[in-house]
Structure 1
Amino acid sequence: MFKWNAGDYSRSSSEQEKWATELIAKLKLRGDERILDIGCGDGKVTAAIARLLTEGSVLGIDSSPEMIFFACQTRGCDTNKNLSFLKIDARELDFQPEFDVVFSNAALHWTTEHLKVLQGIKKCLRPFGKVLLQMGGRGNTEAMLTVVSTIMGKSKWSEYFTNFSFKYGFYGPEEYLAWLEMAGLNAIRVELIPKDMVHGGEEGLAAWFRTTWLPYIQAVPQHLQEEFIYEAVKTYIGKYPLDTQGRAHVQMMRLEVEAQNIQ
């Protein structure tokens, strides 16, 4: 397992937060819902949901102990009655049917076991409860994946990736429609949405890479990790130059899933 730097992620995830804000708006909350936020990370998105719940509450879960500790320390989960956090793996949901909404942003592509996640979501939803998920989908960040794959094969780095194995769960509508049906959830909308992720030049791109490409970075000895990061970033910018405003662009593909529990 890789280790997250929650503080660094919190400082370098403005694009993920922006997309989360767009996704939250699609929930059209009344304010009295009980919500589960899967893959809550540093907790800032969960806290944003909590501020919309005048009479409801939200529970943020994440498999990373570093993220959950950071969320509790910075979001005041012990003092805010409608906001709490727990360390739970998304593949091991074991709640009663207590949630009106299950939400997830930029998290579920970290697992390939999506049917298991959806089966757990089904168990924890109340009748007619809603599901709204967004994650990396098929074709997500293909250009950066190609760059990283090329670097991994270079003589300087290849020894560290001899037994390396990691796969993102980047899927498309076909897989998800089948999994929703198997899990007993009614699909409302499942679509791939292209997104342009924008970073502030080389340093902004490096910050994003440093905080989200952990399986690859942490395969390299610690004293070489910054060198690996900047080789990837400089190679990417060499292929995809900064725009006229000095910004780096990474083409992303998000899978957005809207479903409902009908019993």
Structure 2
Amino acid sequence: MADWSGRDYSRVSSLQRSVAAETLAELVVDGGEWVLDIGCGDGFLTHEIAARLPHGFIVGVDASPRMVATAGHSGASAPAGPVFACADARRLPFGRSFDMVVSFNALHWVVQLGEALTGIAAVLRPQGRALIQMVCGGTRPSIESTAMAVAAGERWAHYFAEFPAPFLHPDPGALRELAQSCGLRVEVMTVRDREWDFGSVEQFTAWSAVGCTAWTDRLPETERAAFIDDMVAAYQPVAGRPGLFRFMQLRAELRA
């Protein structure tokens, strides 16, 4: 899994924060829950949830050491936390300690999604719940599949020999079945066709450069900007106009 820059992510993460904030607006807690935030990134949303837990506690985990380092400096902890730790979603270092697990736009970067869902089920207390938000599959090419197509092109293919896709965009129906097989019951699932206008090609390119670390980490630094430019150019016909990003957003409420 790529080690994303927490500072860079904080600089360009307005999209992720906006979409997650919509979900947080619907989040109902009684204030005493123990919560685990998987893929906490720079810790911004983890702190938002902590403010709603006057008698609870929240832990944020991320597989990226640089993300966790940024999160650890993102603000003072309250009695509810948060505390942050570097941990793989597939191998969570906890027992049945949590009333709730949340994950916002992180699990589509876990190719072995079943292992992550099994891990979520294992850390939830009986009747605990999970709120998951991730990009799912659709009929339109995604920015990630576009990156894979560009990587397979003549200019770049020699850098990406035997490079497996670092993401998974599950079909919603398949995700429901997978969750059930991992010990989680899907209570509510919604899928929305979303778009975000970055306002310019330059802003979209800056966001893409941070989000495509899994690809650009394989390239010499002198080639990284050119790869992102090729990807942005290849994606523009998919989106329909410069600076526009389109994606399928899945939101699922699950119960242990």
TM-score, length-normalised on structure 2? 0.91
1:234-262 deviations in whole A, cap 9, x for unaligned? 343366454xxxx622210122211112x
Give ranges in structure 2 of 5+ residues lacking alignment.
Answer: none
Tell me how far apart the structure 2 counterparts of residues 140 and 6 of structure 1 sit (CA, whole Å). 32
Q: Determine the structure 1 residue equivalent to 2:55.
A: 55
Q: Are 1:258 and 2:253 an aligned pair?
A: yes
Q: Determine the structure 1 residue equivalent to 2:95.
A: 96
Aligned partner letter, 2:176:
L
Tell me how far apart the structure 1 counterparts of residues 247 and 94 of structure 2 sit (CA, whole Å). 33
Cα distance, 1:227–1:80 mapped onto 2, change above 3 Å: farther
Give ranges in structure 1 of 5+ residues lacking alignment.
Answer: none
Q: Determine the structure 2 residue equivalent to 1:17.
A: 17
Cα distance, 1:96–1:164 mapped onto 2, change above 3 Å: closer
TM-score, length-normalised on structure 1? 0.89
Cα distance, 1:61–1:115 mapped onto 2, change above 3 Å: same
Q: Determine the structure 2 residue equivalent to 1:84.
A: 83
Asked whether the equivalents of residues 141 and 238 of structure 2 are also in contact (C-alpha less than 8 Å), the reply is no
1:205-252 deviations in whole A, cap 9, x for unaligned? 11221111112222221111012112222343366454xxxx622210
Question: Would you identify which runs of 4 or more consecutive aligned residues in structure 1 move more than 6 Å?
Answer: none
Tell me how far apart the structure 2 counterparts of residues 143 and 97 of structure 1 sit (CA, whole Å). 36
Cα offset for 1:80? 5.7
Tell me how far apart the structure 2 counterparts of residues 27 and 132 of structure 1 sit (CA, whole Å). 9
Asked whether the equivalents of residues 140 and 252 of structure 1 are also in contact (C-alpha less than 8 Å), the reply is no
Cα offset for 1:202? 1.0
1:9-39 deviations in whole A, cap 9, x for unaligned? 1110111101111111222122221111000
1:126-151 deviations in whole A, cap 9, x for unaligned? 22211110111113872534543443
Mapping 1:138-157, distance limit 5 Å = 138-139=137-138, 142-145=141-144, 147-157=146-156
Mapping 1:170-189, distance limit 5 Å = 170-189=169-188
SS in 1 for 2:137: coil
Asked whether the equivalents of residues 195 and 253 of structure 1 are also in contact (C-alpha less than 8 Å), the reply is yes
Q: Which moved more, 1:210-219 or 1:104-113?
A: 210-219
Asked whether the equivalents of residues 110 and 116 of structure 2 are also in contact (C-alpha less than 8 Å), the reply is no
Tell me how far apart the structure 2 counterparts of residues 160 and 139 of structure 1 sit (CA, whole Å). 28
1:142-172 deviations in whole A, cap 9, x for unaligned? 2534543443344322221233222411102
Q: Determine the structure 2 residue equivalent to 1:159.
A: 158
SS in 2 for 1:112: coil
Cα distance, 1:26–1:210 mapped onto 2, change above 3 Å: same
Tell me how far apart the structure 1 counterparts of residues 136 and 122 of structure 2 sit (CA, whole Å). 24
SS in 2 for 1:75: coil
1:77-131 deviations in whole A, cap 9, x for unaligned? 4x66521111110000242222111100000001122222122111211222111
SS in 2 for 1:254: strand
Asked whether the equivalents of residues 206 and 230 of structure 1 are also in contact (C-alpha less than 8 Å), the reply is yes
Q: Determine the structure 2 residue equivalent to 1:32.
A: 32
SS in 1 for 2:189: strand
Aligned partner letter, 2:223:
L
Tell me how far apart the structure 2 counterparts of residues 160 and 225 of structure 1 sit (CA, whole Å). 11
Tell me how far apart the structure 2 counterparts of residues 145 and 260 of structure 1 sit (CA, whole Å). 30
